Chain A
Amino acid sequence: MPNVASLVERTVRWVRLAERMPVLAYSGDESAVDLILYEVLHLLVDEVKADIGHINLLPRGGRVEKVCTLKDGEPWLRKALDLHLFNPYQGFTGEVMRSGESILVKDIWAPGSEEEPNPFLEVCETMNERYVREIKAPLASIIIAPIKRGRDIFCTIELGRYREREPFDQEHKELIDAFGKRYGSLLIDYILDVKNRIAVNTAHKKLLSLSRVIASKQPVDYRDAIEAYQTLSAADIGFAFFKTGELRSSNYRILVWRGEDVREVFLSDFVPSSGSILRSDSEESFPIAGMAGDDRLVNFRERIRGFADLQQQDRGIILACLDEVRSYVAYPLNLLGQDLGAILLGSRREQFCEFLHMNPFLDLYNSLLKSFLLNERVIHYLSDVSLKIHNPGYYCLAGLKGPLASKYPDAFQDPEVGNALAALEKLFDELHDQGKILRAREKNIHLLKWLKGFVDRKKALFPGIDIEIDSARELTGEYLSRAREQQLETIFENLLTNSIRAIASAQQHEPSLIGRVTMRIRHKKGGLEVTFRDNGMPYATVSGRGIVQVREEMRHLGGSVRRYRSPYRVVLTFPCIQKP
């Protein structure tokens, strides 16, 4: 029977863990989730002297994942292993999901009987070979405990002991149950809140970048656009179809992804079959859930197999991914009668649709993406009208007026003909101008005020990080930079994203570190110099693509970018018109 002193010690350890959560969540980044989970798992492994432990998160809609695994006190699960997503309705976890109660198994390898088969042995062969060898093979006894919100299980904790050791007993199971009942919901809710915050940030960042792209009339980077589906859904295979090109054409850009690998394939003159999710006139009600071998997948597979204008490698990848899909959910991207494309979220697991549905953040992203895609197409069509009025429109009109004036002067001077030509020209002028209003325009931007506004917005988004502007007193008057707001946003968003990542990395080594980003602004002959610096890990910018964009935009602005290693900082020089 446990003595009073050990009970008090245990209570103190559990309470301290709860107290540490806010500190561990400080970075507000995916690393914060890992830090918290490993701390929880370490504590539980120590409590029952387990050798291996897992925490699995099971939100409906969103990522169903094995989020961390400890083996001999060390993190075992790595992103590259591609083992995060799993089916919670199989094995002993499946029993816990069905009964809602925790389970103690003395030997997971014990042969079952005909009446009571061993659920682990039933699925063992379908599991990843390395996972079975390194994690399951050495184990005998396990405890799996559910963490519940009402009757809904949204997390399981699994602890295991090696076969040569004494198996777990009822007391251990009760201890884990007690922890689950007292702190489980609180801790896991907290973790899910942090994950939700990250999900909102991810959706927000992607939408912000899309809106910037569309505001500057740049083409959408589709790889970037699908990242939210990769990150925020439980799909391990996905297809995104985006309709592109002119009004009457039927070209599709397909992005197919499997884990982290993304392939972009262009299908020219691909006319969707009747009933396809790519057609808004389909009578289906969406989203559609389906599985391997259904008419939809088989039909699409046949179309791709026989589609003439497709490179062998592209065809191979699409077919290979289709063949791996065991269950899927498809969302069309239709709006105002426009077929903009579709998203298909697929899984290698059967009957996984429940988890493939989009979570609220991805759903929001998906809805807004549709609007952005429609917006992009409308801009494209309107610009096209203006361009066609410019040429050939005005040339055709002149081609009519010229010969009329020289060959048939009487007809040309007839007021009825003259009025009709004038009305036609007026109509052309109006349409021409309407297309031109969508031009991305540069304007004089007060750089200091703009930066202050940017920093204020970011402070609200990253309350855990000090973001400050250090501007010299001599900066009187207005420093006007000839630019588009989207260019400045691209530059500073990229730099800030790199800083946030660098700070999060530094906080993994030093959790109490308070992130700081400083923009030191000084007058420089002919403009302003902004030195961007943070106290994160002193490595070169994490995002290679980011710095390329920064350089490109600074070049368009006629400025320059310099990077220094020690301490790491980026110096931007903006040419400015200075008004007293």
Chain B
Amino acid sequence: MNAKILFFDDMFGELFRKQLSPEHLAMDENWAAAVTKTLTEADDITDITFELAKCGDIDAWRDVIETEKPDVVLLDLFWPEEAFLKYKDRGRGSDISLDALERIREAFPDLPIVCYTVKPDRELLQGAYARGATLFLEKLPFALPEVQKPLKYILIYLLKYAK
């Protein structure tokens, strides 16, 4: 079985990448590489092959979803640079993603959406579920594929058993 995951994270966008120094960016990239490796590498246990599409432009969500036709969306919840552009306040990074989440849910009622962020709080957890998140996870910024592996099993559950 093949499945496509659309990976929405600000680290794939130019706005964010311009803000961080190369050594700090390397840490984020190592994390993304660990997630990519975990999800795309075949193993003996799972029978799903994941294909990843990555996007750092949250405003383009409709076009990207219609083009890529993902089976699951992975959505980062904190978009500080976009928040600075829109509200002149980087602290409102989650308002950007929650707004997009609500619209995606409205346009694609059956699409599983997994949200994640580093060190979440109660308000964000409630806000994400209120706007239609399928699952809310805490992001662990470790560049170790084995730490990211539970995500793979969660995605398998959503695609095969949660219908």
Contact = CB atoms under 8 A, between A and B. Distances in A.
Interface of A: 217-219, 383, 386-387, 390-392, 394-396, 398-399, 401-402, 405-406, 429, 432, 435-436, 438-440
A394 B118 contact: yes
A398 B87 CA distance: 30
A394 B119 contact: yes
Given A387-B80, A398-B141, A402-B144, A392 B20 contact: yes
B36 interface: no
Interface stretch (B26-34, B42-50, B105-113): B26-34
Given A217-B89, A387-B91, A395-B24, A436 B30 contact: no
A432 B90 contact: no
A395 B91 contact: no
A526 B30 CA distance: 48
Q: Which 10 A-B pairs have CB atoms at the shortest separation, nearest pair first? A: A392-B24, A395-B27, A398-B141, A402-B142, A395-B141, A217-B89, A219-B88, A399-B27, A398-B142, A383-B91
B69 interface: no
B140 to A, nearest CB: 7
Contact of A398 (B80, B88, B89, B140): B140
A402 B88 CA distance: 35
Contacts of A435: 91
Contacts of A405: 144
Interface string B45-89: 000000000000000000000000000000000101000000111
Interface string B1-42: 000000000000000000010001001101100000000000
Contacts of B87: 217-218
Contacts of B143: 398-399, 402
A-side interface mostly:
helix
Contacts of B31: 395, 398
Contact of B91 (A217, A391, A392, A402): A217
Contact of A391 (B28, B89, B92, B147): B28
B119 A429 contact: yes
Nearest to A384: B90
Contacts of B92: 217, 439-440
Nearest to A429: B119
B112 to A, nearest CB: 26
Nearest to A432: B119
B7 to A, nearest CB: 17
Contacts of A398: 27, 31, 140-143
Interface string B91-105: 110000000000000
Nearest to B117: A390
Nearest to B143: A402
Contacts of A387: 80, 90-91
Contacts of B80: 387, 390
Interface in B116-159: 118-119, 121, 140-144, 147
B62 to A, nearest CB: 19
A439 B90 CA distance: 10
B89 A218 contact: yes
Among B28, B31, B78, B142, chain A packs the most CB atoms within 10 A around the CB of: B142
B147 to A, nearest CB: 8
A344 B87 CA distance: 31
A458 B117 CA distance: 44
A439 B95 CA distance: 11
B99 to A, nearest CB: 10
A435 to B, nearest CB: 7
